[in-house]
Structure 1
Amino acid sequence: MRLIKAGQHKAVLLAGMLTLASLSGPARAGEEHEAQQFHEEPPVLATLLVDQLEHRWRDGENSVDWESRGWIGGDTHKFWVNARGSKPVEGGVEKAEFQFLYSRMVSEFWDVQAGIRYDVRPQPQTTYAVAGVKGIAPYYFDVTAQAFLSDEGNLSGRIEAEYDVLITQKLILQPLAEINLSAQRVRELDLGRGINNIELGLRLRYEVVKEFAPYVGVSWERKLGETANIARRHGEDPSDLAFLAGVRFWF
């Protein structure tokens, strides 16, 4: 009788083990599938933002100015292409700059960037090595800081900051500031040592849709230090005030 009961206990134990194995198989397969999905690389995305495409009215020669940036990549690694420039309404391009940068995320809000910058205008055409950071500072200021080393060994830098103030869901006020500085005098570009210039802007845009927004605004630029003295010697006003209208779009 005891042998029969022992045999029954073994049969029950074996059946339980088989049941657990059959249940754990799908569960383990599901866990492995989830783990595989977790370790998969994020999709490659791309975007292009034409941040400024505007006509500037000033006391003197009016101009068309533009600034755009686009990237392709994932959350951690991106490849950026930046472009900016300016041309008189009645003339050819006076300034045109292109940047090709590799960007790597180093924290939740900051990327480090490195690459090259190529200035087509003004003459002489110049190539620079670029290193910098880009991210969101406290209080949601969008900040970019870059250092440039030219093929002639001249070191310069640029700091940009902008901020979006939501007046309504569609009406947005954007103040921005830019500072340019140089470690040496660059006679070919009429630049002195120190802070070359500061530019302050204010743009009010209306987002017809998120991807398209016309705007109006004002921009004030002031050359400083040695750069201002060089401008005066050439008969130029070191201060420039412009009213502007343009469009901002992205896709």
Structure 2
Amino acid sequence: MRIIKPCTYTVLSLALASVTQMTMAQDAHHSMPMSAQHESHSSHDSLYQEMQTGIESSQIEHAEHAEHAEHAEHAEHAEHANASSIASRAASAQHPIDHKREHGGQIYQATEIDNQWLNNADGRGSLKTEIESRIGTDENKLFIKLHADKAESQDADYAAQVMYSRMISDFWDAQIGARYRVDEHQVTDKEQLDAAVGLHGLAPYFFETDAYLYFGTDNQVSFSLETERDLLLTQKLILKPYLNLDVVLSDDSAYAQKTGLSSVWLGLETRYEINKKLMPFIDVAYSYEKGNQHTARQAETGSEKQWWYGVGLRLKF
């Protein structure tokens, strides 16, 4: 107790002195004239304004520096882009790029085989086989067509056609080539070779069309037209109306056909696409045959009209 009391007196005396000094300072401030107080506040305001001005000038200086840096960066990027463009043009000039594969220049191949068995109202049957193969680009193609027709209890007739095809518009190709045909019904001149020119393409309303003019020996000139269109009932069940006709313009051969409309096949095919490579179908058609002229080798024959019906199988690959 004797040690604690002197310390307590010392702490109390120091606290009393500090309170006294604070009271005197407040009294002095209140007793200060208004002018002095105003000058004091003015000095504080001036100091604050100077600080604000310094901060604003610093911000402006920083913004100008950032703007200069941005302009310099854009200029550097533009210079780099120009240099890259010049370099790429120079490289293209030295090593030109071939874009044919991306714009229809690729080579493709497609083959279609039709096997069809038909019967008429008299029960006489006929087996028809057609093969069409094409290879080439969108602009230049080679068409190969093979046809075989064998009536019941008779020899088969054959025809082979090779055509060069050149695209002349978005939907049409001009074709030129040759046709080789064999007719076993004739005693002489069984084999014939004809020059052929024509068009292959898509007619209005999406009719796929082949139209050809044939020029052979003995003043044989004829025209053939094949046109067809797919009508989708579903994605797999498809109707295909078709028209095949032949017109004889002139014929001075030993087995001449009558001039004019020589034959017509008008039919409706219904096929089911198991997939894009295998497609069975049924077919109903009406045919007209005008007949042959009277010559030293043959007697004149009349026209024939009859209905045909049958089944078939189409393969694509």
Residue 281 of structure 2 is matched in structure 1 by 215
Residue 234 of structure 2 is matched in structure 1 by 168
Secondary structure of residue in 1 paired with 2:234: coil
Q: % of aligned pairs identical?
A: 26
Match of 2:310 among 207, 221, 244: 244
Structure with the higher fraction of residues in strand conformation: 1
Match of 2:271 among 205, 214, 218: 205
Structure with the higher fraction of residues in helix conformation: 2
1:183 shift after superposition: 1.6
TM-score by length of 1: 0.82
Please say if residues 146 and 159 of structure 1, whose CA atoms lie closer than 8 Å, have aligned partners that are also in contact: yes
Residue 140 of structure 1 is matched in structure 2 by 206
Q: Quick check: which has more Rg, 1 or 2?
A: 2
Residue 57 of structure 1 is matched in structure 2 by 119
List per-residue Cα deviations over 1:40-78 (Å, max 9, x = no partner): 68222111111x311111214211111221111101000
TM-score by length of 2: 0.66
RMSD over aligned CA atoms reads 2.9
1:37 counterpart = 2:103: no
1:23 counterpart = 2:89: no
The aligned length equals: 233
Unaligned runs of 5+ in 2: 1-71
List per-residue Cα deviations over 1:91-132 (Å, max 9, x = no partner): 431x21110000000000000000000102244211100000
List per-residue Cα deviations over 1:200-240 (Å, max 9, x = no partner): 1111000000111000111211123xx3787xx76776113
Q: Which amino acid aligns with 1:65?
A: K
Q: Which amino acid aligns with 1:243?
A: Y
User: Structure 1 CA distance, aligned partners of 2:238 and 2:263?
Assistant: 27
Please say if residues 196 and 212 of structure 2, whose CA atoms lie closer than 8 Å, have aligned partners that are also in contact: yes
Please say if residues 228 and 238 of structure 1, whose CA atoms lie closer than 8 Å, have aligned partners that are also in contact: no
Q: Which amino acid aligns with 1:81?
A: I
Please say if residues 54 and 66 of structure 1, whose CA atoms lie closer than 8 Å, have aligned partners that are also in contact: yes
Structure 1 pair 206/30, CA: closer, same or farther in 2 (3 Å)?
Answer: farther
User: Structure 2 CA distance, aligned partners of 1:250 and 1:29?
Assistant: 47
Greater RCO, 1 or 2 (C-alpha within 8 Å, sep 6+)? 1
List per-residue Cα deviations over 1:157-195 (Å, max 9, x = no partner): 101111111010000011101111112245544510111
Q: Which amino acid aligns with 1:154?
A: Q
Q: Which amino acid aligns with 1:23?
A: S
